[in-house]
Amino acid sequence: MTTELIHVGFGNVLAVNRVIAIAPPNSAPTKRMAQEGKSTGMLIDLTNGRRTKAVLVMDSGHIVLAAIAPETIAGRLTATREG
């Protein structure tokens, strides 16, 4: 089984098959989830200091912050799976 990677901005990549959900960061539950991830050491910040536009939930329980829109990431996931 090969690991497919997806570019999530600024030279950062994620394993496609490990992503469970992609959400915008502006809802209270998403903000709370990111805060809990930070306090437990399960938060991975891939924004490179930019504004967070997407929060990804991984199957390992990690919460990943990305600086590109959820729609962009979803489009790249779809393109990766089709091509």
Query: Please, are residues 67 and 80 in contact by the beta-carbon 8 Å criterion?
Result: no
Domain region containing 32: 5-82
Residue 1's pLDDT band, with cuts at 50, 70 and 90, is low
Smallest Cα–Cα separation from 70: which of 52, 83, 48, 58?
A: 52
The per-residue pLDDT for range 49-71, each reduced to its tens digit, is 999 999 999 999 999 999 999 99
Q: How many structural domains compose the chain? A: 1
Query: What is the average pLDDT value for the chain, to the nearest integer?
Result: 93
- For Cα atoms 73, 46, 35, give the angle at the middle one, nearest 5 degrees: 100
Backbone angles phi, psi at 55, to 5 degrees: -120, 125
Residue bearing tokens 């992609």: 22
pLDDT, average across residues 27-51: 96
Residue bearing tokens 């912050």: 65
Query: Is it the case that residue 82 has pLDDT exceeding 90?
Result: no
